[in-house]
Amino acid sequence: MPASLPMAAQLRRLFARPLLLLSIVMPAMAGAEPRPDNMVYLRAIDPSIEQDIRYAGAHNFTGHPLDGYAAPECMLSLDTAKALSRVQTALQKQGYGLKVFDCYRPSRAVADMARFATEPGDPRKAEFYPRVDKQDFWHLGYVARVSNHSRGSTVDLTLTGPNALPADTWTPSAAQVDCTAPYGQRWHDGALDMGTGFDCFDERAHTANPTINALAKENRQRLGSAMEKEGFAGYSKEWWHFTYSAEGAPKTVMDFPITPLTSRDVLDSSHQLIVVTTKNWDDIQGSAQRYERDGNSFRKVGDGFAVVVGKNGLAWGKGPGNVEPVAGPVKREGDGKAPAGIFRLGTAFGYDTTAATKLPYLALTPTTECVDDSASRHYNALVDGAATAKDWNSSEHMRSESGYRQGIFIEHNTPASPASGSCIFLHIWRGPTSPTLGCTAMDPADISRLFDWLDPGESPLLVQMPEAQYEQLREAWKLPPR
């Protein structure tokens, strides 16, 4: 190690990995800045937005995880996260989506970037800045001494879509390919061709660069237009960089560490809950109750109502921040169990052309399918079978099930992991003693009340589990009494 390196830099290089592990184990270390109430996890607001948080790992221009990234999570101010979710919704209607690379960035991580730019060594130069000296990062506009990312309203992202090459899994031994190389040759990040890769310190990454191909220009324009419609302003030097510029966007620079998302974090972001409980893991019948936030707690809304769940009961499912917090079965594809845990509520759907609901609404057609083949890239998604290139062998034809006259998509296993369960809805029951294949069903009048009551702006959640597990977790998760 060069003797000329400052002692702090030598210690950081020697102990970066142990310190990172310690920060994961003890995120509330002494002296850590507390997280402001308005800062939320994007996964708790919209888990459908893909995440590849580069600075939590080594696949970035510095070649090491940055200080303050104790978890690969996107955090943003609440208004920024909600605006980004609106962008996602608009893009999904066109067949596209978002993937984020960086969001809130602790100021200690910005200082880490600055240290890297003054120290010897270029471990990832060949990929991220092959034609730039890293000491020129600042005056070329690629690195800021004070970053808007640290204010919680700036996000680095890209555009996904049906023609994107599948994402590769990065390892330190991966070959370094120039980030300006042709789309098929450079790193496959799962996104469409945007002209360069992310964090590419090169003029071709400038948003309006004229030398990129026509398709990349079109993709940049589509992304930029969608972001601008919801109040985001782009940055001329980086096509991936957008700042939420609406009135009320946060101005304060922050330095709290990014720690793993917990179920408590997910609940803290919600103002509407539907709580479903059953007597035990195997019971097919349960009760449901609506709640609305009242300060730091929740109050009941209306009367409780009866539901039925999977023919084989419940099992822990996969939601934002969900783990297997207590003992119990784990949900798998085709197990006939409804998911237990905390889940966001997504698109409403039904037979009618329109519906009186604030939720995004999908009018089902004879060709609407929900794909339950885990080998498909459309696994756990509602698709138009007549307009989508078919890569699945199994699906639900939504108009063939009378219970789907009105329903709401439960965002279980979103984004989808193979074989973890798919096509889970709130919908109309066949009757109070007729279980489902894994959904939660109810009387038509009750699903209609949910249509009328639920508001995506209130970040509604479904909390579903057996009574004993609910009581065991209630205090830790700040759940309301049943």
Domains of the chain: 7-244 (3.30.1380.10), 263-477 (no CATH)
CB 104 within 8 A of CB 254: yes
218 tagged catalytic: no
pLDDT of res. 322: 53
Give per-residue pLDDT as tens, 402-450.
999 999 999 999 889 999 999 999 999 999 999 999 999 999 999 999 9
pLDDT of res. 17: 33
Give per-residue pLDDT as tens, 442-481.
999 999 999 999 999 899 999 999 999 999 999 989 999 9
Output the CA angle 362-365-369, nearest 5 degrees.
80
Give dist(CA 78, CA 254) in Å, integer: 15
pLDDT of res. 138: 81
CB 40 within 8 A of CB 269: yes
pLDDT of res. 9: 39
Task: Tell me if residue 55 falls in helix, strand or coil.
Answer: helix
Whether the per-residue pLDDT at 321 is higher than 90: the answer is no
Give per-residue pLDDT as tens, 352-370.
999 999 999 999 999 999 9
CB 339 within 8 A of CB 438: yes
Report the percent of the chain where pLDDT is more than 70: 92
- C-alpha distances out from residue 388 to 329, 367, 430, 432, Å: 35, 10, 31, 36
**Tokens 């290139």 belong to residue:** 389
Average pLDDT, the chain: 91
Alpha helix ranges (H) inside 283-419: none
Give dist(CA 75, CA 40) in Å, integer: 5
For residue 323, what pLDDT band results from cuts at 50, 70 and 90? low
For residue 250, what pLDDT band results from cuts at 50, 70 and 90? confident
Q: Tell me the average pLDDT across 372-392.
A: 94
pLDDT of res. 1: 33
Helices 78-93 and 214-229 pack at an angle, to 10 degrees, of 130
Give per-residue pLDDT as tens, 60-107.
999 999 999 999 999 999 999 999 999 999 999 899 999 999 999 999
For residue 27, what pLDDT band results from cuts at 50, 70 and 90? very low
Catalytic residue among 127, 230, 238, 396: 238
Torsion of CA 219, 223, 229, 231, to 10 degrees: -150
Q: What is the bridge-based pairing of β-strands 361-363 and 338-350?
A: parallel
Phi, psi (deg, nearest 5) at residue 474? -60, -45
Q: What is the pTM of this model?
A: 0.81
Give dist(CA 222, CA 91) in Å, integer: 9
Task: Tell me if residue 193 falls in helix, strand or coil.
Answer: coil
User: If residue 18 lies in a helix (H) or strand (E), which one and from where to where?
Assistant: helix 7-25
Give per-residue pLDDT as tens, 144-160.
888 999 999 999 999 99
For residue 32, what pLDDT band results from cuts at 50, 70 and 90? low
Q: Tell me the average pLDDT across 50-67.
A: 97
CB 35 within 8 A of CB 73: no
Give dist(CA 69, CA 170) in Å, integer: 18
Task: Characterize 226-254 residue by residue with b for buried, 16 or more Cβ atoms within 10 angstroms of its Cβ, and e for exposed.
Answer: bbeebbbebbeebbbbbbbeeeebbeeeb
